[in-house]
Structure 1
Amino acid sequence: MLELSSHLQLLTWPFALAMAWVLGEVFNRFTHLPRISIYAILGFAFGNSVSAFLANQNAELLMIGANLAFGLMLFELGYRINIAWLRDNPWIALTGALESLLTFAVVVFLAKFAGQSSLAAWLLGALAMSTSPASVLRVINEERAAGQVTERVLHLTAINCVMAVCMFKIILGVGVYQSSGDWMSAGWHSMFVLLVSAGIGVTAGVIVPAWLRRMGRLSADGTIAFAFGVLLLVSLTHVLKLSPIVAALTFGLVARHRRVSLSRTQRNFGVLGDLLSVLLFFYVASTIAWEHAWAGALLGVTLVLARMAIKIAVSSATARASGITLRKGYLTGIALAPMSVFALLLLEQSRYMELQLVDRLDALAAMALLLEVAGPALTYLALRLARETQSERKD
């Protein structure tokens, strides 16, 4: 009987993921909701209905698989960032920095006002700064979106990610060292992690294109070479307790500027990317506990509304100065709604430092649940209203 139960545990995840993919295709056809929103709904229902199957030996493998999927998307995001454009139009970088810092300040204020501890409030503020590149990229790729709003959303997402990781690492370092009062150690440790992670990404971004160029296989083997590069980066940073987010993003950024081009068929890493994206969004949603989401519902909804208001207000206020209309400015702010996957995977890193923060931030669970479903839908709506999705461009 015990052996049968063990076999059932091994089969649960593959069947659940396959069912999520099937239902995602069916519901997408009839509701036009982004597939990732449907994966999230099913993952949340699965995680809260058969939680006994989650606490098994596959948990670590699933987490690594989710990080690999996220790493591939971060690589693609980094690859699509144009540094020259940011240099020519500094208003885009200014918009990203301003809305990130304002989001942090307002979320920290509201969280402390609601009775959260200083550490919890700071962490919520840092995580709220982020925009999830996984959700944004999946929607853009599914809809084949292109245009001013799409490009600004990609660049602002990258800025949000970098600033959120830096702030999160600093706050987490302070949280670990605050008992000893060794603030210098906290700051040095955080900066060391970020610099080493970026250095590993730069190294990969130089070596992989050079090897492909040397072998004369740039167009034929680019996808699999970059995929293996991301796999090695994620594994290495996972073992060394560094930042896979910074490493993968830097890898993509450097690879782009080494003049290696990805063809249309390689976007989203093809079938591999599709398969891993089901795992990513389903698994992340399955980690959100209903009791935590319900306990933090009021504060979570408040913080989501405040976060959205700031992103829309700042994007609208800087729209004309950055070269777009006011309408496209607020649509850009709406499209920056997703944050769940990025925030939850980043927060998982706190387990390495023996800080069980995932279970203590009820407001984050509520925010994650709400934006896991609504975030991709809002991104899709914004891009469609901007007439940048493939279906709208044809009309």
Structure 2
Amino acid sequence: MTDAPITIIGTGLAGYTLAREWRKLNADAPLRLFTTDAGHFYSKPVLSNAFAQNKIPEQLVISDVAVMAKQLNAEIIPHTEITRIDPESHHCYAGEVAYAYSQLVFACGATQRVIPIAGDASAVMRVNDLDSYQAFRARLTSCSAKRVTILGAGLIGCEFANDLALAGYAVSVLDVAPYPLSRLMPVEAGQLMQRALQTLPMTWHLQTHAQQITALEHGAYCVTLANGEVLDTDVILSAVGLQANTQVAAAAGLTVNQGIMTDAYLRTSAADIYALGDCAAVQGVVLPYVMPLMQGARALAKTLHGQATAVHYPAMPIAVKTPACPTVIAPVPPSQAQSGTWQITHDAPESTTLKALFHHQDGSLLGFVLMGKAVTEKQALVAQLSSGLS
């Protein structure tokens, strides 16, 4: 199948970045991409802070699919779902239609997790692409909504909460954790984020969850919480995290866990098949952020070109899009979470400036959280973190 095209499943940031990087190394070899949507190029992270800017989906598109096909000298097949892979024959299938590939890359991302809620669970909306963002905007505007309930106080939940509150909505945020961003921050930093965001029209309902949703008149809903509280709301948005799209890979016999399992070269358990981005568990770890994706795309492009290149992750801080509390996080590697302690510097209880450094037992820096004015220390700490990774 050496004459068959390199094939990428997905035209999100992972798929298109890989295609660009590969074209730098090979301008003419056949390249094919499949996508279940229209195939337009946009940055998915902007979805969580586009509403306050009053941006419609068309304004978020950077290049449409025709432009991308021309730029990449590629065949892009939109509105098409790859339903089956045959690793032995090197074919992928959209229904009964077979497409040969020489090398195949899963860049099919992740979908929003669905949590069980009694009652009218269909009322829960999820924003994970341009189409769902359009539906969310339409719901907010068509029903003259004033109240939004967000399920989840993680990264995306906090960003949406800040964005919608700035746009004038009364926001309620629910989470089973005792403070927001609990998987990325120590308690003091999470509590600061909570205080900063609740200066906006926002209320928090923590250490509880939505138990039942009941439809009311005029398109409104009643949300009953596990702790007995009852919230009346107009729109319910889920932001409880992502689940890697592994179904097709698993059905083809590839090893999957939290994601499609790969080695450091992004190779899966099947020959000539790779995984990149939110769908991949690289050496067992899923990193659903932009910077790991970019590093992976650069390395994988070389591997596909015949120059086997392991992905190397430098320090990769995350900028949290919460203007009410500017925040930068360099997450502590999960494998190191029990190997050290947080050292926290906080100006005063009412201050929005905080610095939290996570040091290994040997004194080396493994991660940090910077909030407020402390974000100016980002570059120095990234350099310190990078020196420990090299």
Q: Shorter-chain TM-score category?
A: under 0.3
Question: Which has the larger Rg?
Answer: 2
Q: TM-score, normalised by structure 2?
A: 0.26
Which has more helix, going by share of residues?
1
TM-score, length basis structure 1: 0.25
Larger RCO: Structure 1 or Structure 2 (Cα < 8 Å, ≥ 6 residues apart)? 1
**Higher strand proportion:** 2
